[in-house]
Structure 1
Amino acid sequence: MNSGTNTATANESPLASSGLSGRPVVPALAAVAVALLLATTACAPAVPAPLAGTSGGSSSAGTLGSSSPTPTSTSASSAVTPSPIVATSASVSPSSSATSAPATPAPSAGAWRTFTSADSKVSFDYPASWRVSDAAGGSGGIDVDVANEADVVVASLHVGPSGGLGGACQGDVPYTVLDSVEVDLPHQPAKGTVTPRFAFRALQEPNRVTASFGLTDTPAGHNGTTCMFYNVVTGPSEWPLFSFADAFQVRAGGSEDDPMHKGAKTFPSLDAARAYMKTPDYLNAKRMITSLKIHES
């Protein structure tokens, strides 16, 4: 290279014109050797300094889609580590659909229907695969049965006059409320009553648990025990009494005589009754009963 050629010429000139021929040869040769060493060192190719920012954005950007064949560019790109900024940009934001999707999808619009009474004052929603029909032996007012796919009555609705409540039972048993949800329905407040609500209640008998769901405004039992309870609500004067339940009256030792009417349920334990609350049968009945609307004149 040119710098090497220029260095060689400079090394020869001191021998011819330095004026050092009268001095001892050894020191002169030593001086020449030192000069040659310095010249050789100056002529050596420089080691390229590390590229500033080889791990930064500019170097990384140069390797993305770059067509440069130079070894320097290729070597630098192979040593680049992914930028932390790029890595964190892949994190999912809280507003993404993956985190905002509901755990339980809502039923499709066609999965449920709405029953409306002839006078349009009473309505409720029910599964499209179930059937609503007039109840046999209605006592006036609105009386309908709701049956499932097997044509077994899940719950019955009565809205109208009160025929009076009666019944007797013996031997109180432990009484437990397994589920309770308030509903917005008209009622006639009275001593000992509560706001209308859907309730799933159980009687713990010696060899079984008898449980029933429906609307009520009357707590049952005393000190956590009872032998009987009713699934009824005392309504305003226009609707003195209404009931929407699997059974009107539930008592210890009782049983459902009609195989086509589910009525009160029996379970081997309270845990089994609680497990039933997670079934579609229970959840659909609860949604149907709590959807009841009664419109006063």
Structure 2
Amino acid sequence: MELEVRKRRTQLYRYQGVGIGICILAVAYLSYMVWEIDSDFIRWKFGIGISALISISICLVYALLVAVACLIMRFGSLKIAEILATECDPFLYEACLQKSSRLLHKDRLLCSIALAQHYQGNFDRAWETLQEINVYKLRGIHRANYYILMSDQYFKRGMGQQVHELEERFRQSVRAKNKREWKYFETLCAGNNLTRALENQDYQAAAGFLGDRIALNGNASRPWTRVIFALKEAQIYLGLGEKESAKLCLKYVVDNGNRMWCVQEAMRLSEGI
């Protein structure tokens, strides 16, 4: 796997290198334009309006170059994230993340590592990693993932009664007018309600909560989340006694889950049918 990690990291470095190169080009462009253009002459020759227009155009070109550089570097990071989201390989994903520097965005990196460990089935390691995270430094999807992982950990450790406290902490951190953050909160609650319903063997309610959870993902659903949903759906079908439907869902998990722990769980459930 080390060779594959090196290959993926090299790909990331290429994107980062191109992005940094464009940033350097942007700085060189801005410096050249500032030092070489005689703004006093332009103002005298063409007027203040033209001078201001030239200054604005220079700034816009600079901003555009920086934006392109950031997008390219961001695309490189997304290629690493695709290892889990699309390829369903949490082991390779973690191996790539472990090579990253923790000087910047340490908590965000740890959250991603915990996510990888969790979907490997290494729940104890994921728990330990989560303890190192300062949740107040997380934003957006990373903060949502933290609370989702912590909730799942609480359920697995028999601490389900404390999950409401996690939900309340997340709710209090959500900004009132931020629709995306409220959607993350709804996603957390829908997932937790699904887990509660399955634990209580209320499979009709679980089906409803699973539908809510899938709807919240909408078109953003990725292969790894579809695998997770298929496993939950199989558990519901088994609870309702619909074994043939459960088999189809479990087959989907085994065929598409790659190295996620869901595959082993699906195989275990299949053996019991």
Same fold (TM over 0.5): no
Bigger strand share:
1
What TM-score does the superposition give when structure 2 sets the normalisation length?
Answer: 0.24
Select the structure of larger CA radius of gyration.
1
Bigger helix share:
2
